[in-house]
Chain A
Amino acid sequence: MNKQRKSALSRRQFLQVAGSTAVALSLPGILSACRPSSASGALKIGVLLPYSGIYAVLGESITQGMQLYFEALGNEIAGRPIELITEDSKINPDVAQQKVRKLVEQDEVAFVTGIVSSGVLAGLRDYFHDNQVLCLCSNAGSNAHSRAAKTPYIWRTSFTNWMAPHAMGTWAAQNVGRTAVISVPDYAAGENNVTSFTHSFTAAGGEVVAVQRTPFPNMGDPAPFMAELSATGADLIYAFYSGSAAVTFVKAYHDFGLAQQIPLTGAGFIVEEDVLPEQGAAAQGVKSTLFWSYVLDNPQNAQFKTDFHAFAGRDADVFAVQGYDTACVIDEMLKRTEGDTAVGQLIAALDGIQFDSPRGPFRLDAHSQAPEHNMYARDVQPVDGVLRNVILENLGPIVDPGDDSMG
């Protein structure tokens, strides 16, 4: 799937291109020394997301969130028409590597955005760093890219994995119980959740009694995990699952009667809008922390939900918010550079960008190169007959520490 939005070259744009070409020709050496970074002509943005397979829903939502924002701008920033060039990452680091080379070297995009999987981000990190290409990551949350593997060329508009479990650890110890069992998929993001939750849960007086690491990416039938979780006798479960694993996990949790026995808490993705309709009543009462909820009450969110539904024909989810905010960051960034896309200028412009997002106040933190935003404690309850994540408490702003000192 390759969605391109190409607009015909108007005479004015042609003159702009011709003009800048003439300038460039009169200054030989500049063009050969660096990638094109002209401040005129179409603004090409490389979008690398999964459009097929298990994360296709995420790719679609993030893209539509961006398109919605840009459409409202008339698809133009700083006088330059926006052209999104989308590529399917297939959640495969090797495929993603080829696609990003194609975007940067062949399409000559000004910068790249997208990237759902932490594995793909890890695989591309050196490419962005070595080639000095800016990447505005709109999903993958691996802590390392705000810490040890940080590079000036990767900034995140989404979150870091540390955030949700950190908030839940404190909240659960105060509100749910004193002993916890953790269940996560056996890969880097799962491990990020284990260390973060353990740190804040312990700091708040709780104790983690067991950690269950389940096969990734194919968890299969989670039934065997249920008996083991129940056998720990812990006060609560903390789980980090998303997509189909979230559906099967929550359904099994309900079907085996654990719901009456041991409360389930998790990072918000376990009961987000992409899986909640399929989980149905099984998800009711699941507590989670995330930086957004469908029912979050602020004017930006109300407007966003209405607009997104009109644009996409379905309800918004958190991934659509991430796409929308990414587009907003791009808008702010390019306004600050007045449309110039020289990488140094773009990076300088990102520092301190802030705006009111559907998720609440959003600020890009220059230290962790990731957002500072509110965390919300949520509970799945019916609202007007539809299950939603009702906000229990606004836990206030959170920002990644930028090192491993807090898990």
Chain B
Amino acid sequence: MDNFLLQLLNGLVTSMLLFIMAAGLSLIFGQMRVINLSHGAFYLVGGYMGLTAVKQWGAFWPALLLTPLLVGAMGWLAEQFLLRGRYGRERQLQQVLLTFGVALVLSDLAEWRWGAYTQTVPPPVFLATAVPLFGLQFPLYRLAIIAMGLLLALALALFLGRTRLGAILRAGVTHPHTVSGLGIDVERVFAATFAGGVALAALAGILGSPITTLYPGLDFEILILTIVVVVIGGLGSLRGAFVGALLIGLTDTFGKARLPEFSLFLIFAVMAVVLLVRPSGLFGVEEGH
């Protein structure tokens, strides 16, 4: 029982990090119909920039706040100068290749700037300890990640459900033509969405880096898991991202604990089953509406 609860907590840590990533990816797809293959690269760059900031200032929290803002600004620039004018269903290949190109450029720049050694952001001092839990020491920082993930989920749900911008974003997912017909500046919404989406990736990067560490190649590892989460949850759905992240985070953790040889296989098996039953994901919006 202790072991089960311990693994449940481990699963929640993975789930929350995946949720923050998936929320950004899903948000971007929901509005712009662009699958952002550079999302993992923004995780990695966010982590590295956070690392530099923490080393510079010697404090975790300002880095946690400022890094996503900086990376969000990078995302805004990328949208302005690269993606703008390339929207639309007939240009999907262009978009995918473009975001893939951004991913490659970012990971090469990161390797050039931060090197190929494995690096970690030190967690804040008061969280760098452990509490006795279920027969083992459980790192406090990991508990903090669960708390922050849940808080962020709540904040995003309130933002989407209770604010005017949130209403526009929700409408953009289901009725994009009506939204532009109402005189809303869709281009500004797109820019803000992309910036916000990659800022979430950067937030996950700095939060997750004490656990995943940072190294070349991590960007694509994270990207694949994130895409799996979003596909399971349904593209464009925040609730879907949350449930998908829980499903994959827990499958991954319990898979590793009980059947480590098959844990990667299990993740994709879950995805296959979900897609067989619900082809557009658990909370996905049917195409064509």
Contact = CB atoms under 8 A, between A and B. Distances in A.
Nearest to A222: B256
Interface string B26-57: 00000000000000000000000000000000
B216 A227 contact: no
Given A52-B111, A54-B116, A221-B14, A226 B136 contact: yes
A225 B260 CA distance: 8
Contact of B13 (A223, A227, A247): A223
A151 B258 CA distance: 40
B118 A243 contact: yes
Contacts of A243: 118, 215
A247 B213 contact: yes
Interface in B223-274: 252-254, 256-257, 260-261, 263-264
A230 B136 CA distance: 8
B185 interface: no
A248 interface: yes
A224 B250 CA distance: 10
A53 B216 contact: yes
Contacts of A224: 7, 10-11, 252-254, 256-257
A218 B7 CA distance: 19
A243 B136 CA distance: 26
Contact of A220 (B115, B136, B221, B254): B221
A56 B260 contact: no
B10 A215 contact: no
A316 interface: no
B260 A214 contact: yes
A295 to B, nearest CB: 21
* Tier of interface size on chain B: 35 or more
A54 B130 contact: no
A186 B14 contact: no
Given A56-B216, A230-B136, A221 B260 contact: no
Interface in B1-28: 3, 6-7, 10-11, 13-14
A244 B213 contact: yes
Interface stretch (A126-134, A165-173, A251-259, A349-357): A251-259
B250 to A, nearest CB: 10
Question: Top 8 A-B pairs ranked by shortest CB distance?
Answer: A257-B137, A56-B116, A224-B256, A244-B118, A244-B215, A224-B257, A255-B139, A223-B10
Given A255-B130, A274-B117, 19 more contacts: A52-B111, A57-B115, A213-B260, A215-B256, A215-B263, A220-B221, A221-B212, A223-B13, A227-B7, A228-B3, A230-B135, A247-B213, A248-B211, A255-B137, A255-B139, A256-B137, A258-B136, A275-B118, A278-B119
